[in-house]
Amino acid sequence: MTTPTTIAIKVNGETRELPEGASVADLLAALKLAAPKVAVERNLEIVPRSAWASTRLAPGDRLEVVHFIGGG
């Protein structure tokens, strides 16, 4: 039996391991973050919400995930 290959990325400065081939959408699901109130930057470039599922993460990627909280 083979073990799944993982990659190491940085999310908000913290190292995380994800399965190889994981997308931005997979990362957000793992973080349990809802799409409507989240912005994602990958390697200093904003990732449009429409590209989250198709944007594959690579070893060493640096992501900033911002979660907006509503209220007054």
**What gap in Å lies between CA 34 and CA 59, rounded to an integer?**
24
Q: What is the pLDDT of residue 71?
A: 67
Identify the band that residue 72 occupies on the pLDDT scale cut at 50, 70 and 90: low
Burial call 23-62: b when 16+ CB within 10 Å, e when fewer: bbbbbbeeeeeeeeebebebeeeebeeeebeebebeeebe
Report how far residue 3's alpha carbon sits from residue 41's, in angstroms, rounded to the nearest whole number.
Answer: 30
Residues 32-44 pLDDT 10s: 987 788 999 999 9
Q: In this model, does residue 2 exceed pLDDT 60?
A: no
What does the pLDDT look like over 10-35, one tens digit per residue?
999 999 999 999 999 999 999 998 77
- Is the Cβ–Cβ distance between 16 and 9 less than 8 Å? yes
The mean per-residue pLDDT over the stretch 44-63 comes to 97
Which uninterrupted H or E stretch holds 9?
strand 6-11
